[in-house]
Structure 1
Amino acid sequence: MCIALVTTAHPDYALVVIDNRDEYILRPTSRPHWWTTRAEPVPRGPNPSSSSSPHGANAAVDSTNPTDVEVLSSRDLQRAERGTWLGITKGGNFAVLTNYRETNTSDTAHPVHGTRSRGGMVTAWLGAHPAESTDQFVHRMLDDDGGVKGVGGFSLICGKLRRAKYDKNIEPLAIISNRCDHAGQVPWICGRRGSVYGLSNATYRRPGDPPEDGEDDEPIWPKIAVGRDKLSAVVSSAPAEAQLLPALFDLLDTQDFPPNRTLDLEQVIPLLKDSIFIPAVGGEQHQQQMEEARSRGKTGGNPPGGETPAPEDHPNGFETGLYGTQRQTVILVDWEGNVTYTERALWDANGNEILRGEGDETFRFKIEGFEQLAELRN
C-alpha cells in the first residue's frame, strides 16, 4: 500500500515529491539508474478539446521522428515489462504510481491482477515522445483501447516538469486512473503554489470530497491526512537541502502500526490505511520464506540495471517473504530545473535489513527544457 506525497509549498523548490514503495520485500527490483528507450512519435490528430481539460488544450504533436529518451528510475525485475513505480526523464517527464486496493474480487471490469503491468503505465509516460503533451498522453491512455485496459487498479501522477508562463508556478500534473471513464474526469494538481497533495491506494480525493460508491466511509485515509500535515510542517520551516532530506526521510518513516508482525496479509490489509511506513509483516509461511532467503547471505543490493537476469533466474520471486516498505524516494526540483533524486533501499536482495542511509543512492541533473515556459496553468 504505497504512498506518494507531493507539494509546491516549499519556497526554494518548484516541486517536492516523497514516496514509499510498499511491496513484497524479496520482489526482485533494480536500484535506480539511467536507461534509454526509443520513443516513437504519436500520430497527429485533433487537439483535445478545452472542455475535457480544466486548463485548455495543448499544442498538437509536431514531430514525426523517433528519438531516444533517457530515463532515471529503478525497475521491476519480476515482470518482463521491466516497469517501475516512479521515475523522471532528462526532458522532465515525471510519473509516480500507486496501486488501487480492489476490494470486490468479482468485479470483472476492475481485476485485482490485470493482464498488463501497472509499472508499464509509468514507463508509457517516461518513454513517451518528448513532443507529446501531458494532455495528449491523458487522452491516449483513456481513449485508446490499448491505454489503461487490462491493467490492475492504479493511479498515476504524471506530467512534464516545466515552469509556467505566469507567476511562479509549474505546469500542472494529471492523475490518471482506470477508475476514470474519460479525460474530463482526470484531476489536475500542482498548478498552484502552496499546495500539498497525497495519494495512496484509493481514488484521489481532495479534502471534503465524498467517497466513491463502494469505497470506505472516510473520505481521506488517515495516512494521507497525517502525511499531508507533516509535509506541510516540514516545508514551512523552509530548510535547505542538508536539513530537508533527512526531515523528509524521517516523515516517510512515520509509523502507526500494531506491534504484531506475524499477521497474514489478509489481516494486514485493513491496517495499511493508517501507517505511512509499513514494517515487515507476514504469516508463518512468509516468515519461513524470508529466513530461507537470508540463509543465502548478504548481497550488495539488487542489480543496478543494464543487463539483468530473467525473472525465472531469480531465487526470490513475487509474493514471497514478508511485505512492507521496500524503497523510499525523495525528489527535489528547484526553480532552475535542477533535480536531486535520492532513493533509499531498506533491504538487500535476500531480505537482509540495510541500515538507514547505507542504502542511499543520489542522482543530480538539470531538466532539459525546464525554462521553456508552459502556456497553461490551472
Structure 2
Amino acid sequence: MCLITFAYQQHPDYKLILVANRDEAYNRPTRGADFWPEHPNILAGKDLKAGGTWMGINQSGHFAAITNYRDPQISKTNPPSRGQLVLNYLTDNTDPITYLQNKAPETDRYMGFNLLVGTPHKMGYYSNQQQNIRNLGPGLYGLSNHLLDTPWPKTKQSKEQLEMLIEQDKISEESLFKLLSDDTEAPEDQLPDTGIPKEVEKKISPVFIKTDEYGTRCSTVLLIDQDNKVSFSERRFKAGTLEIAEKNSFEFSLRESN
C-alpha cells in the first residue's frame, strides 16, 4: 500500500474503518483479493512476483497492511520481500505487539517499510526506519511513504475527509471509495522532499496516482463492526485510469473475538 487512513475505535458502529490505495508498477503481476487456496483462513490480494501481500485479514480478525518508506538512498543486497511480513502475521495469529517484537531484530534486512498489524481490540505499528514499536490507542491515523501521521498533503487530506465522514455519520462503502479516488496533485509548495525529482514528487502526490508506468492499482475498504462482522471490498483499476476493471467484495463474521 502507499496510502492508508484508518479510524480505530472511533465510531459507534465500527471498531475499525480502514481505507487504502495500493500504488505499484503497472507491469507487476498481481492477483485480486480472495481467500487463498494454500491459506483458506486468509483474505488478501497476492503479489505474484514475490508471493506476499500488501494488505489482508484472516477469519480470526487479525489484519495487516504495509507501505514502502520512500528514500532513494536506502540500499540492500538481495532484500527479502516486505509483503512476507504481512503474510507471516496473518498466518501466525499471535498478539500484534508480540509479533512486532519478534520481527523487529531482523528487519534491517528489508528495504524501508511501515507495518500495521492488529485485531479489533489491539493494534501495533512499526517502521524499520524508526525502530520503535507503538501500541496504537483509539484514534484517527494516516500513513503513506514516510512515518505514521507524517503530514504529507495526501495523508492530511484523507484523514480530514475520513474525520468529516465520521462526524456527519456518512460512512458507506461508496463514500469511502470516493475518498480514495481524488487524483488532484498537491501544490508545489506543499510537496515533501524525499530525494526524488520535484516533477516526480508532484506526479505521485495525489491520493490516487496516475502516471505512465506507475500508479494506483487498487483501492480497498475494510470495515469491522461492533458485532465483529467484516466487510472487505476491493476495486482494481485499468492502468493509469480511474476506470474499474474488477470488483471483489466479501462479508463474514469473525470466528472468535480477539
With the shorter chain as reference, the TM-score category is: 0.7 to 0.9
In 2, distance between residues paired with 1:226 and 1:112?
33
Q: Percent identity?
A: 28
In 2, distance between residues paired with 1:98 and 1:343?
17
Does residue 125 (structure 1) correspond to residue 89 (structure 2)? The answer is: yes
- CA deviation string 1:225-254 (max 9, x = no partner): 1111011011222136xxx11111111011
Paired residue type of 2:205: D
Query: Residue 3 of structure 2 aligns with which residue?
Result: 3
In 2, distance between residues paired with 1:175 and 1:352?
31
Query: Residue 118 of structure 2 aligns with which residue?
Result: 159
Q: Secondary structure of the residue that 1:27 maps to in structure 2?
A: coil
Change over 3 Å in CA distance of 1:340–1:175 after alignment to 2: same
Does residue 274 (structure 1) correspond to residue 243 (structure 2)? The answer is: no
Query: Residue 136 of structure 1 aligns with which residue?
Result: 98
Paired residue type of 1:118: R
> What TM-score, normalized to structure 2?
0.87
Does residue 196 (structure 1) correspond to residue 160 (structure 2)? The answer is: no
Structure with bigger strand share is: 2
Equivalenced residues, count:
248
What stretches of structure 2 of length at least 5 have no aligned partner? 187-195
Change over 3 Å in CA distance of 1:76–1:268 after alignment to 2: farther
CA apart distance, 1:26: 2.2
In 1, distance between residues paired with 2:160 and 2:78?
34
The structure 1 segments of at least 4 consecutive aligned residues displaced by more than 4 Å after TM superposition are 265-268, 351-354
CA apart distance, 1:112: 6.4
1:16-55 → structure 2 map (5 Å cutoff): 16-35=17-36
In 1, distance between residues paired with 2:123 and 2:24?
25
> What TM-score, normalized to structure 1?
0.61
1:69-218 → structure 2 map (5 Å cutoff): 70-79=41-50, 82-103=51-72, 105=73, 110-111=74-75, 115-128=79-92, 130=93, 132-143=94-105, 147-161=106-120, 171-181=121-131, 185-189=132-136, 191-192=137-138, 195-205=139-149
Query: Residue 363 of structure 1 aligns with which residue?
Result: 250
CA apart distance, 1:73: 0.3
C-alpha contact 1:6 1:15 (8 A) present in aligned 2: yes
CA apart distance, 1:188: 2.4
C-alpha contact 1:113 1:151 (8 A) present in aligned 2: no
Q: Secondary structure of the residue that 1:4 maps to in structure 2?
A: strand
Larger radius of gyration: 1
In 1, distance between residues paired with 2:77 and 2:15?
36
C-alpha contact 1:114 1:152 (8 A) present in aligned 2: no
Paired residue type of 2:49: Q
C-alpha contact 1:111 1:153 (8 A) present in aligned 2: no
In 2, distance between residues paired with 1:272 and 1:172?
36
Change over 3 Å in CA distance of 1:32–1:124 after alignment to 2: same
C-alpha contact 1:223 1:273 (8 A) present in aligned 2: no
What stretches of structure 1 of length at least 5 have no aligned partner? 38-67, 162-170, 206-218, 259-264, 283-321, 373-378
- CA deviation string 1:302-329 (max 9, x = no partner): xxxxxxxxxxxxxxxxxxxx11111000
C-alpha contact 1:19 1:330 (8 A) present in aligned 2: yes
Change over 3 Å in CA distance of 1:35–1:136 after alignment to 2: same
CA apart distance, 1:353: 5.4
Paired residue type of 2:184: D
CA apart distance, 1:274: 3.5
CA apart distance, 1:361: 1.0
Paired residue type of 1:98: T
Of the three residues 324, 331, 335, the one matched with 2:215 is 324
Q: Secondary structure of the residue that 1:174 maps to in structure 2?
A: strand
C-alpha contact 1:102 1:112 (8 A) present in aligned 2: no
